Amino acid sequence: MRNGEWPDFSDAGMQAGFRHAKQLLAKLRTMSTYDEGYRAVLEALIPGIPASAVICPPFHCDHGHGIILGEHVFINANCTFLDGAYIRIGAHTLIAPNVQIYTPHHPLDYRLRREGREYAYPVTVGADCWIGGSAVICPGVTIGDRCVIGAGSVVTEDIPDDSLAVGNPCRVIRRLA
C-alpha cells in the first residue's frame, strides 16, 4: 500500500505484520508508561521511535512500522493510527486523547469495495503542533508546522503552517504567526 499498490490482505507476510502489531498492542494495553518493559514493547512496535517520544496506552494501530515520530512527540491515551501509508509527526507535537489518524481509503465504487480494494495515502503532521482531543485526520492530509487543531475537528484538507483550525470539516479560522 505504501508503494501505491493494491494490498492482498491474505498475504502471509501482511498477516504476520498484523499479528505482530496486535500482539504488541495487547501487551501495551496492560502497561503504563512507567512500567518496566513499556519502552521495549513500544520500540518493537514502532522501530526507530525516539527515546523522548511517549505514547500513552491504550494505543491502536495497524502495523506500527508505518509511524515515524520526531523528538519529544507526546501521544495521549486511546489514539488510533491506521498506518497503511506512512504517518509522520514532527518534533514537539502534542496529540490529545482519542485522536484518530487514518491513511486507508476505500474506493467509492461499491464493486471495488466488495473486492477488498483499498488505497492508503500518507498523513503528515508538522513540528510544534497541538492536535485537540477526538480530532480525526483523514487520508492524505498534511498539517503544517506550529498548527493547533481544535478538539473534535475532522481534517479533510491540508492545513498551512501557523494556523488555528477547527470544525467539521476543519477550516482555518486564524493565523497564529
What dihedral angle (degrees, nearest 10) is formed by the CA atoms of 116, 123, 75, 73? 150
Residue 155 DSSP class:
E
Annotated catalytic residue 106: yes
Catalytically annotated residue among 60, 63, 92, 106:
106
d(CA 170, CA 139): 14
Q: Are 158 and 141 in contact (CB under 8 A)?
A: yes
- Half-sphere exposure for 79 (CA within 13 Å, toward CB): 25
Residues catalogued as catalytic: 106
